[in-house]
Amino acid sequence: ELAQVPSEQKAAWEKYTVPEGNDVDSIARSIVHHTTTTLARTPYNMDDFGGYQATAHSVRDKLIQDWNETQQVRYGWYHTIKDPKRVYYLSLEFLLGRAMDNALLARGLKEPYTEATKQLGFKIEDLLEEERDAALGNGGLGRLAACYMDSLATLDYPAWGYGLRYTYGIFQQKIVDGYQNEVPDYWLTYDNPWELPRLDISIEVPFYGHVSKYSDENGRTRHKWEAGEIVQAVAYDVPIPGFDTNNTINIRFWSSKPRKEFDLAYFNSGDYNRAVEDQKKAENITSVLYPNDNHMVGKELRLKQQYFWVCASLHDILRRFKKTDRPWSEFPDQVAIQLNDTHPTLAVPELMRVLVDLEGLEWDEAWNITTRTFGFTNHTVLPEALEKWSVPMLEHLLPRHLQIIFDINLYFLQTVEKSFPNDRDLLATVSIIEESQPQSVRMAFLAVIASHKVNGVAALHSQIIKDTIFAPFIKVLGPDRFTNKTNGITPRRWLHQANPDLSNLIAKKLGSFKFLKELSLLDGLSKYANDAAFQKEWMDIKYKNKVRLTNLIKERTGIEVNPNALFDIQVKRIHEYKRQFMNILGVIHRYAKLKKMNAAQRKEVVPRVVIFGGKAAPGYYIAKLVIKLINSVGEKVNNDKDIGDLLKVVFIPDYNVSVAEVIIPANDISQHISTAGTEASGTSNMKFVLNGGLILGTVDGANIEIYEEIGDDQIFLFGARSEQVEDLRHVQRYRNVPMNPELQAVIHLIENGTFGEPHIFQPLINTITVGKDYYLISVDFGSYLESNDLVDEAFKDKKAWAQKSILCTARMGKFSSDRAIKEYAEDIWNIDVS
């Protein structure tokens, strides 16, 4: 390991390299050390936050040592025996959540740290609560990237993530008078012990300017891009520990800084203020995460973010490759790059630019290398989410890249033309350039053409992309380019960390914690599903988790709920396609029904707590009205003495990863009720079921595969099928189908002011009135209500419910992100464990 050190000093280095112990004494010593040195505090002025910081630094030390070991020894390039092919996961979003508990559990250090902090006067649970979430993502897409990093580390793959170090993560949501307010998430206020600033690693990223042509020594026409502005990308590394392995991978987050060299033009003209202004502008690039999920906004700053990130990451990857002196043709044997949605697609023209303009390769060879390197994951079919960049904007910001994109398109269309002569329509449909006003670049088409594999994120979704948005490419590129990789979640965070009691019970029953790395072992629980004693242990834990959530609800909303009631949960981004609106309309229906009952009838009712959570994009007016309606209905229902515990409606503010860890283990049932065909996969559905909850859902995304695994006694599916949706929309739109009568009655209650000023909600109601209802709420409402009744019936049989709950967990083996990552590694990346 010390091969680089001159032999005279080697002995000294070895002598002083004393590994830190993992015993309670050593840990306590390191916490005290960090308290007095890193924090410059004393035992006399310590509080929980200081305790957290000192403990975090102690844990960080261990991660850094493992990180070094992994990066330099396990797959360091100067050890010629090991220079494995690596995978680089490019994602604009990583929704990591908290790091400390995860690291302690991964390294098996939770116990000694609990003891050491206890001896120093702390409770570890309180310290863990002091950590702020790393919330550099919007929702499922960003959290998926985090789960995948966990699996890559745990399975010992040589992998790196690349992202942006936003100064502001996803906004914090406050609820004021029932409305969402957004507060900036300035998460780096008190430094971040989970990152390693690498101020020495920096890459220059060019923007703007113009392209000139010249002839090289072989008389070939070459292009040179002279940038108009150069910004510096500085690396911040976040170690990601694998579970029960020392493998510790890296996510490199780039931060924008002004260039070290001062622009001489300003200096000479004496315009100092302007120079400082310009420097500040550089830092703006990585200031803020765009807070939209499944929605594209064509802002230049976002395009700048994308190129800044892609350029820095690619040059970092290329620098690493170049150290090995391999020929370019071997690049795809050493490097796999996964494009997490179209956000990093500029990596395609950037790699082409490097290979052709800078390295002097022929176009065809460069293109061959490029397509063998990239894989592309599509995460949505919603038209408003598909990235299209205006040609003039691209041309202004990245003039050479635009040329390259046009060339890629030209060569591609030529091959299409050859195979399908005279099919002008086909050429127009597969063109990367959309002939809009102005023209725009279809980033998904570019990603498809430039990748050797394109995947969807659940079986239905992967079929839908082949049938709809990418259908013409099946004809042109053949079906083999398209594949499915059903999403997965990490059982380490979503079972072991979020639900330790359940994880311990399972380990006790199965004899070990092996299931955490081999999730299909959970199947061993099935044979106890009917065992009364086990059912009791199981449901006692569920109850405890519900009490934990009850306390959180009380603390965050003031609402008191009964932990014996059925906990019915829908937490996810607020979006029309996810139909939280339908859920709250169903709640109003339930409320109206309860109001009409007599005392004897009410005795038969299953008490229910309907729990919502999730953020709306700040500019998404209708989604924000849904939040307001939920809170208005809650206000009315929760304070109705007639109703009492029979129905409560809760909106938990500021849903995020750490809150999800409390919410999910407490679910009896969760709702995943998107209009069929709109939710590509969903991943919280997997988390809820893994924690012993049933599902109320539509025949959409991963719900379908969950159903195939857990069986129809554990899931309540309803509503239109995806194949029917298009026709149904047409009928709704043009045939004036009257609204479902139960829905009409509910709308009437809103309109007559039962839930406050009705005019507020008019724009929301208008989205489902006759001739509209794009998301088919009226069509599905009847079957939705019926399924809700079935849920109540099922919950009355406690024993049967306990059995269902156990079977849910037992049958979730397929949905581990470990399974998903192994599929990517084998079918797309062609990499082995290191």
- Minimum CB separation of residue 726 from ligand GL4 in Å reads 19
Query: What's the CA gap between 87 and 333, in Å, rounded?
Result: 11
Query: What's the CA gap between 519 and 812, in Å, rounded?
Result: 7
Q: Under the criterion CB under 6 A, does residue 719 sit at the interface with ligand GL4? A: no
What residues from 696 to 715 belong to the interface with ligand GL4 (CB under 6 A)?
A: 701
Q: Which residues of 246-259 are buried (b: 16+ CB within 10 A; e: fewer)?
A: bbbbbbbbbbbbbb
From 379, 388, 453, 648, active-site residue: 379
Q: What φ, ψ does residue 646 adopt, rounded to 5°?
A: -65, -30
Q: Which helix (H) or strand (E) holds 718?
A: strand 715-718
CA-derived radius of gyration, the chain: 28
Q: Under the criterion CB under 6 A, does residue 817 sit at the interface with ligand GL4? A: no
Q: Which is nearer to ligand GL4, 614 or 701 (CB)?
A: 701
From 85, 546, 687, 811, active-site residue: 687
Encoded one letter per residue, x for contact with ligand GL4 by CB under 6 A and - for no contact, window 310-349 reads ----------------------------------------
- Minimum CB separation of residue 144 from ligand GL4 in Å reads 4
Do residues 153 and 247 make contact, with C-beta atoms less than 8 angstroms apart? yes
Q: Under the criterion CB under 6 A, does residue 681 sit at the interface with ligand GL4? A: yes
- Minimum CB separation of residue 468 from ligand GL4 in Å reads 15
CA 362 to chain centroid, in Å, comes to 38
Could you tell me which stretch among 121-129, 137-145, 207-215, 823-831 binds ligand GL4 (CB under 6 A)?
137-145
Q: Which is nearer to ligand GL4, 55 or 722 (CB)?
A: 722
User: What CA–CA distances, in Å, run from 373 to 89, 239, 348, 370?
Assistant: 12, 25, 10, 5
For the question of residue 672 being annotated catalytic, the response is: no
Q: Which is nearer to ligand GL4, 394 or 702 (CB)?
A: 702
Ordered DSSP codes for 158-207: -EEEEEE--SEEEEEEEEETTEEEEEEEETTTT--TT-EEEEEEEEEEEE
Q: Under the criterion CB under 6 A, does residue 457 sit at the interface with ligand GL4? A: yes
For the question of residue 572 being annotated catalytic, the response is: yes
**Nearest C-alpha neighbor of 166 from the set 185, 147, 150, 149:** 185
Q: Under the criterion CB under 6 A, does residue 139 sit at the interface with ligand GL4? A: yes
- Minimum CB separation of residue 386 from ligand GL4 in Å reads 10
Tokens describing residue 559? 């609402």
Please state, as a whole number, how many other Cβ atoms lie within 10 Å of the Cβ of residue 570: 25
CA 795 to chain centroid, in Å, comes to 32
User: What CA–CA distances, in Å, run from 224 to 211, 218, 364, 396?
Assistant: 6, 16, 19, 16
Q: Under the criterion CB under 6 A, does residue 380 sit at the interface with ligand GL4? A: yes
Please state, as a whole number, how many other Cβ atoms lie within 10 Å of the Cβ of residue 214: 9
The footprint of ligand GL4 on this chain (CB under 6 A) covers a number of residues equal to 17
Q: Which is nearer to ligand GL4, 247 or 486 (CB)?
A: 486
For the question of residue 210 being annotated catalytic, the response is: no
Q: Between β-strands 221-226 and 94-97, what pairing exists: parallel, antiparallel or unpaired? A: unpaired
> Site for ligand GL4 (CB under 6 A): which residue of 349, 586, 682, 697?
682
Q: Which is nearer to ligand GL4, 192 or 484 (CB)?
A: 484
Tokens describing residue 752? 């007559």
For the question of residue 796 being annotated catalytic, the response is: no
Q: Under the criterion CB under 6 A, does residue 634 sit at the interface with ligand GL4? A: no
For the question of residue 10 being annotated catalytic, the response is: no
Query: What's the CA gap between 351 and 88, in Å, rounded?
Result: 14
> Site for ligand GL4 (CB under 6 A): which residue of 131, 293, 316, 773?
293
Q: Under the criterion CB under 6 A, does residue 749 sit at the interface with ligand GL4? A: no
- Minimum CB separation of residue 492 from ligand GL4 in Å reads 19
Q: Terminus-to-terminus CA distance in the chain, angstroms? A: 17
Q: Under the criterion CB under 6 A, does residue 95 sit at the interface with ligand GL4? A: no
- Minimum CB separation of residue 697 from ligand GL4 in Å reads 12
Do residues 573 and 135 make contact, with C-beta atoms less than 8 angstroms apart? no
- Minimum CB separation of residue 237 from ligand GL4 in Å reads 25
For the question of residue 648 being annotated catalytic, the response is: no
Residue for token digits 């002008």? 424
Query: What's the CA gap between 179 and 185, in Å, rounded?
Result: 18
- Minimum CB separation of residue 168 from ligand GL4 in Å reads 19
Q: Under the criterion CB under 6 A, does residue 486 sit at the interface with ligand GL4? A: no
Residue for token digits 């109001």? 595
Could you tell me which stretch among 139-147, 184-192, 248-256, 556-564 binds ligand GL4 (CB under 6 A)?
139-147
> Site for ligand GL4 (CB under 6 A): which residue of 679, 705, 742, 780?
679
Q: Under the criterion CB under 6 A, does residue 375 sit at the interface with ligand GL4? A: no
Beta-bridge partners for 338: 89, 375
**Nearest C-alpha neighbor of 653 from the set 95, 294, 179:** 179
Tokens describing residue 555? 């603390």
Q: Under the criterion CB under 6 A, does residue 144 sit at the interface with ligand GL4? A: yes
Q: Under the criterion CB under 6 A, does residue 294 sit at the interface with ligand GL4? A: yes
Annotated catalytic sites, by residue?
A: 379, 572-573, 578, 683, 687
Contact set with ligand GL4 (CB under 6 A) = 139-141, 144, 293-294, 379-380, 385, 457, 487, 679-683, 701
